[in-house]
Structure 1
């Protein structure tokens, strides 16, 4: 396997007195698409919030390209090349589609992604570029959220519940765009409720169950029985 771009070592995370992650160990290889599955409340979003700097952790629990980043702020993490597509899109409602995209570009990282390339990936956004982001459909808003992340020219992109609340035809369009996103060697972590979709686009999969890794394996080789046991905590 290629050298890991990201290493997570004994990562624990808390919301006040509530512990959401318990000693999680993971790796993401250079150019790899990794899937993370698990039931609601398993800790998936907490994991991505930790990786993107939205939650502060011990510095050495998360290492990116050999640098301890667990205690960095979100803007510092983004400047290093990690971008998050958050659950629920979280667009700026007072800004247009294009203005939301330009926010991602303010990281000022060199790379191939710019407005022209984002519009090539999602042509509907160019048509709607002057509209308020909240006037778009849910699927179009997800495209804006993805485009905003790409505008920062990340080396690692994190997708939190990429298909949540979207119509099946829109989910198909979003996943059809994925090869064009990661085809240049970008690494990706995809948190996804649709297990079949998650396995179809990833090389490896981790399952979280109550804040712990309950399964790790190759997406093409793990069985549905193994996934069911890991997902629901069945002995």
Structure 2
């Protein structure tokens, strides 16, 4: 087995006095897609915020290619090659589609992703490149958020609830683009409430329940009964 590109061991996370994660373990290998599933409040977004440096942790709780990074700032994490597509997209409302995408490339990391490649992946964004990003439909805004993250040429792409609030046909089109996104060895963590969708795009799944890992295993190896029990805690 290859060494993990990122390894998380015994991760705790707090918001003030409130503890949101308890001893979470997770590893992602190069080129692997790992799904993180769980109900609302399970700790999925907290996990993404911890990895991306938006929540500080013990340095050795998160290791990137063997290096402890849990205490680094968000900008330092991004420079290493970790990109987050945040829940709710969080686009810059005063900027156009293209300006939002360009901001994603400000790190100057070398790699295959540039404006032309993003427009090839999501042609509608090229058609609307001069429109304010927040004037787009929800699905198109999600494409911008994904494109902005890819413009940083990450080695690990984390996507937090990318299907939340979108129409099924839009979700289908976004997930159909995922093989092109990860097809060149990019690793990914996909956070989803939709169990079937998460299993369909990943090779490994981690289920969180009330801030703890309740189940982990191969996406094609776990039974629906096992997953349902871990997801709902029954």
TM-score with structure 1 setting the length: 0.99
Aligned equivalent of 1:107: 107
The 1-side partners of 2:38 and 2:163 are apart by 15
Pairing 1:229–2:229 present: yes
Q: Distance in 2 between matches of 1:37 and 1:224?
A: 13
Separation in structure 1 between the aligned mates of residue 22 and residue 193 of structure 2, nearest angstrom = 21
1:52-91, aligned counterparts within 5 Å?
Answer: 52-91=52-91
Instruction: Report the RMSD for the aligned CA atoms in angstroms.
Output: 0.6
Name 2:141's counterpart in structure 1: 141
- 1:180-199 superposed matches below 5 A: 180-199=180-199
Q: How far apart, in 1, do the equivalents of 2:59 and 2:95 lie?
A: 34
Q: TM-score, normalised by structure 2?
A: 0.99
TM-fit CA distance, 1:96: 0.3
Q: Distance in 1 between matches of 2:105 and 2:15?
A: 31
| Secondary structure at 2:153 match in 1 | coil
Aligned-partner Cα distance in 2 for 1:210–1:109? 37
Corresponding pairs, count: 234
Show the counterpart of 1:219.
Answer: 219
Aligned position for 1:94 = 94
Question: What secondary structure does 2:14 align onto?
Answer: strand
Deviation at 1:2?
Answer: 2.5
User: Which residue does the alignment assign to 1:33?
Assistant: 33
**2:19 equivalent to 1:19:** yes
d(CA) in 2 for partners of 1:191 and 1:67? Answer: 24
User: How far is 1:47 from its partner?
Assistant: 0.1
Give structure 1 regions of 4+ aligned residues with deviation exceeding 2 angstroms: none
Does residue 169 (structure 1) correspond to residue 169 (structure 2)? The answer is yes
- Which whole-Å deviations, capped at 9, do the CAs of 1:151-202 have from their partners, x for residues lacking one? 0000000000010000000000000100000000000000001110100010
Instruction: Encode CA deviations 1:64-122: one digit per residue, 9 max, x unaligned.
Output: 01111101111100000000000000000000000000110001101010000000000
Q: Deviations over 1:8-37 (max 9, x none)?
A: 010000001100000111111110000000
CA distance in 2, matches of 1:48, 1:206: 13
In 2: Cα distance, 1:67 partner to 1:108 partner: 22
Separation in 1 of the partners of 2:35 and 2:26? 11
